[in-house]
Every structure is written in C-alpha cells, then in structure tokens.
C-alpha cells in the first residue's frame, strides 16, 4: 500500500525511532539502513518504489524528556535525512496523521501530556515495553478518541532485520493495521497477535538478541581457545549464526531436521551436540524465554 499521503510523527527520536525512520526512507534509497546512519546519494532514476519522502517525517525530542533520556536528543541525524524536527511533542500530536511513541516507558506520562491542545492524529503506535493497550486507551481513546496499537519490536530493526508483533486496540481498522505492517515490515518481519501473547514475544524476540549475542561470544571464545584470532573467531561465529538462521527461514524445515544434516554418524558435530545436551543448552534457553516473558508480565501490572 502507498503511504505517500501520511505524515508520520515520532515522539522520542532515539534508536528505535531512527530504525523505523531509516526503514521508511531506505525504501526510497535515500539512506543506508545501517547502524552508522550514513546518508546515501543515489540517482533518482535508480530508486525503487518508496514508502515515504523525508518531508513526511517529523521527529520530536521534547526538552523535558531530554534530561531524563539524552539519547532521544539525536535530532541532527533526522535533519541530515531531510526530515522535519521539533522540540515539542505537541507539534507532533497536532500535525501528524500517525504518531509513534518511542520513549522509555517511565517517560510515558510526560511524553503524552497534551492538556489544552487538540490532538489531530488518527492513529497512535506505541513501541513502549510493558505499557498495555488499556493504559494507552485510557490516555488517548477516552480524551481524544484516537485508536491505539501496541507493538513489540526488537533492536535488530536498526539493521533492517527486526521482528515485531502488534496488537490492535478499540476501533483500529484493517487499513490502519496495514499501515502498522508496512511500517515495521520496512525493517524486518511483522505479525498481528492477541495482546495476551505480546509478553511471550517479548521473552522470545524482544529479549532474544541478547541470548544470541551471548551465544556468538561463547562460540568466539571457543574459537580463540582453539587458536583462532579474536576478530576472525567473532566474525565467523556471527556469520554461522546468520547462515543457520537463513537456512531455517529459506527452507521452512524444522531446525532438528537441519541439524541432522550436519551430524554425521560418529562425527565431530554429534559429539559436540552431546556436549551441548550435557550443558542443558536447550533447557537454559527455554528458561530464559520464560523468565523474560514473566518479567514482562510483572512490569505490565
């Protein structure tokens, strides 16, 4: 679907907001969807069909929020992209069609304080962990009649490889859900789920990058122990994780089936897998997902 008539506003201009902004703009080839925030200039005739133009984006880093969260003060990056910026969240709420709340959950009350102004946006999208649809609707639906969507993204969105799930609140239309999907599919994969599953996905994909980084570090340590230099060990460990993940995604086969392909009878790999089983790797990862999901449930309460 085309988003060219929609003005997107971001309250909070930090990492996650930047990832989404880059995703939208990278679709038109204006910037690199990489962590260095570099600007790419490419001939207009070579650009693929795009989602938005820079002037459709407005990023806000209100002064009262910067003191509590300095990372949200990176408006200069947005200006380099050609996007509009402001130090007032009121500007965003009054002038944008879709508003993305991308501040830390503890800053939520201050970020959406709009007493005495008229909220004109048509959809609120929250990426704040632990803030429920009920809490969002209490703030926006009761006073401003704005439908809300709650999203659980992850930090891999900053390199265009994110995972996001979302749940809709009251009066959210299918067309508005299409907007949410287009936004988050610009930086990875996206799926609608019941809100009761949001915290489970928090435990799996929201916190999941940390589990994989730990695994990559441990594999790298193993390589160093066996005589490989640190740089090569880390690079190859990361690539093997990326390649194995791509095998699962591209083939659609069960991970156990793919593992069997690598495990020759009496070979090195099955011997190594035995060590993983003795270390309870699978059980530990399952417990990690469970623990993170339970913590998210507690935070939501």
For 93-118, write each residue's pLDDT tens digit: 889 999 999 988 777 766 666 555 66
pLDDT band at 46 (very low <50, low <70, confident <90, very high): very low
Closest by CA position to 84, among listed 56, 50, 51, 122: 56
pLDDT band at 148 (very low <50, low <70, confident <90, very high): very high
- For the cut 50, the answer to whether the pLDDT of residue 19 exceeds it is yes
According to DSSP, the β-strands at 98-101 and 188-192 are unpaired
Query: Using the 8-state DSSP alphabet, how is residue 206 labeled?
Result: I
Tell me the average pLDDT across 59-83.
Answer: 72
CA distance 71 to 165: 24
For the chain, counts of helices (H) and of strands (E): 13, 8
Q: What per-residue confidence (pLDDT) applies to 241? A: 98
Where helices occur in the chain by DSSP H, the ranges are 15-26, 63-66, 75-81, 89-95, 108-111, 133-144, 174-185, 198-201, 208-225, 230-251, 255-262, 268-278, 281-300
- Provide the mean pLDDT of the chain: 86
- For the cut 50, the answer to whether the pLDDT of residue 47 exceeds it is no
- For the cut 70, the answer to whether the pLDDT of residue 281 exceeds it is yes
Residue 58's contacts (CB-CB under 8 Å, 6 or more residues apart) are 7, 8, 9, 10, 83, 84, 85, 86, 91, 92, 95, 96
Higher pLDDT, 37 or 4: 4
Q: What per-residue confidence (pLDDT) applies to 180? A: 95
Residue 134's contacts (CB-CB under 8 Å, 6 or more residues apart) are none
Bin 227: left if φ > 0, else alpha if -120 < ψ < 50, else beta: left
pLDDT in tens, 220-273: 999 999 999 999 999 999 999 999 999 999 999 999 999 999 999 999 999 999
pLDDT band at 49 (very low <50, low <70, confident <90, very high): very low
Domains of the chain, start order: 8-193 (3.40.50.720), 206-300 (1.10.3730.10)
Q: What per-residue confidence (pLDDT) applies to 42? A: 40
- For the cut 90, the answer to whether the pLDDT of residue 293 exceeds it is yes
Q: What per-residue confidence (pLDDT) applies to 73? A: 52
Residue 160 near residue 188, CB atoms below 8 Å: yes
pTM: 0.84
Tell me the average pLDDT across 131-140.
Answer: 86
Tell me the average pLDDT across 54-70.
Answer: 72
């Amino acid at each position: 679907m085309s988003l060219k008539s929609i003005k997107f506003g971001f309250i909070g201009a930090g990492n996650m907001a930047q990832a989404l902004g880059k995703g939208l703009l990278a679709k038109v080839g204006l910037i690199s969807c990489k962590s260095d925030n570099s600007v790419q200039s490419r001939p207009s005739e070579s650009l693929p069909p795009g989602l938005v133009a820079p002037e459709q984006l407005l990023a806000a880093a209100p002064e009262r929020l910067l003191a509590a969260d300095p990372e949200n003060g990176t408006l200069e990056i947005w200006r380099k992209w050609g996007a509009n910026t402001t130090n007032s969240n009121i500007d965003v709420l009054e002038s944008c069609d879709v508003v993305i709340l991308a501040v830390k959950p503890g800053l939520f009350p201050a970020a959406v304080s709009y007493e005495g102004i008229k909220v004109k946006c048509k959809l609120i999208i929250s990426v704040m962990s632990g803030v429920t649809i009920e809490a969002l609707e209490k703030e926006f639906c009761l006073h401003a009649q704005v439908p809300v969507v709650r999203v659980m993204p992850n930090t891999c969105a900053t390199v265009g490889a994110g995972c996001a799930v979302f749940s809709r609140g009251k009066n959210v239309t299918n067309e508005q859900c299409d907007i949410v999907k287009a936004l988050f599919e610009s930086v990875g994969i996206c799926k609608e789920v019941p809100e009761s599953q949001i915290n489970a996905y928090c435990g799996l994909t929201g916190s999941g990058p940390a589990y994989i980084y730990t695994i990559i570090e441990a594999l790298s340590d193993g390589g160093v122990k066996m005589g490989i230099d640190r740089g090569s060990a880390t690079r190859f460990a990361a690539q093997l994780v990326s390649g194995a993940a791509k095998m699962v995604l591209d083939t659609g086969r069960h991970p156990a089936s793919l593992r069997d392909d690598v495990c020759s009878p009496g070979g090195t790999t099955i011997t190594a897998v035995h060590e993983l089983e003795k270390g309870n790797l699978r059980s530990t990862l399952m417990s990690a997902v469970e623990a993170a999901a339970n913590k998210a449930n507690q935070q939501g309460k």
